[in-house]
């Protein structure tokens, strides 16, 4: 009984591979770099998205030990890059907003290294998986998909909210400007009409 309870509890704790997931602020004229030590022949994935700011774009580069450039893109809004680390050492991935003169940005990235370890108790089983074990594995995979969808939906919601707030500010400024213009035109019209009908006194 305890064996099955452990399997059920494990699906609520996503035993992920080594991964770095972060959302950070990138100022204008700024560059932020992150470093990860990777062993040889390890599958890795770098995924990023600009959540808010400017035209929602940044420069992204990924460099292997020794200076080999594995990925280098300019003014990207979002992307996902998969690669296999051919040599062990410290890998560097950088996000640059140096081309922007006034707008800072919010950037999300997820850097995954290696494969996810299997669920406890279902790795190298002595026999075929039981129905409980198969259900646990299926639920675990489904939960990973749900978490991935939730992350992307949160990012899209944050981006849409930022755009909506920007449009709201523009509408507010435009409406205020229209109000000022209408009041000024009305005052000018009243002043002009009063001058038309004002009595002119003869001067001697």
Is the pLDDT reported for residue 36 higher than 50? yes
Contact partners, residue 143, CB within 8 Å, separation at least 6: 11, 12, 14
- How far is Cα 83 from Cα 86, in angstroms, rounded to an integer? 9
The domain made up of 2-158 is a member of CATH 3.40.50.300? no
pLDDT tens-digit map of 41-85: 888 989 999 988 888 899 999 999 988 999 999 999 889 999 988
- The closest alpha carbon to 151, from 61, 54, 23, belongs to 23
pLDDT tier, 203 (very low <50, low <70, confident <90, very high otherwise): low
Query: Residue 173: which pLDDT band, with cuts at 50, 70 and 90?
Result: very high
Q: Which of 123, 142, 104, 117 is nearest to 25 (CA)?
A: 104
Rounded distance between C-alpha atoms, residue 113 and residue 43, angstroms: 6
Instruction: Give me the percent of the chain exceeding a pLDDT of 70.
Output: 81
Domain ranges in the chain?
Answer: 2-158
Task: Report pLDDT for 142.
Answer: 82
Candidates 35, 43, 103; CA nearest to 64 is 35
Residues in CB range of 107: below 8 A, 6 or more apart: 23, 24, 25, 26, 32, 48, 49, 50, 51, 58, 95
Predicted TM-score (pTM) of this structure: 0.64
Can you say how many angstroms the Cα of residue 109 is from the centroid of all Cα atoms in its chain? 7
Distance CA 26, CA 45 (A): 21
Could you give the 3-state DSSP secondary structure of residue 103? coil
């Amino acid at each position: 009984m305890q064996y099955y309870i452990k399997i059920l509890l494990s699906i609520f704790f996503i035993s992920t591979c080594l991964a770095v997931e972060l959302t950070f602020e990138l100022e204008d004229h700024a560059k932020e770099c992150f470093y990860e030590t990777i062993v040889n022949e390890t599958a890795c994935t770098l995924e990023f998205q600009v959540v808010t700011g400017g035209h929602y774009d940044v420069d992204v580069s990924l460099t292997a030990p020794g200076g080999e450039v594995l990925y280098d893109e300019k003014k990207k809004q979002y992307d996902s890059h998969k690669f296999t680390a051919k040599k062990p050492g410290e890998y560097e991935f950088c996000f640059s907003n140096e081309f922007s003169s006034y707008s800072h940005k919010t950037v999300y990235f997820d850097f995954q290294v290696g494969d996810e370890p299997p669920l406890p108790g279902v790795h190298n089983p002595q026999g075929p998986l039981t129905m409980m074990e198969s259900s646990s594995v299926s639920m675990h995979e489904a939960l990973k998909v749900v978490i991935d969808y939730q992350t992307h939906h949160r990012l899209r919601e944050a981006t849409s909210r930022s755009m909506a707030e920007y449009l709201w500010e523009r509408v507010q400024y435009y409406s205020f400007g229209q109000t000022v213009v209408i009041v000024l035109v009305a005052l000018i019209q009243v002043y002009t009409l009063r001058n038309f009908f004002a009595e002119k006194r003869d001067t001697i």
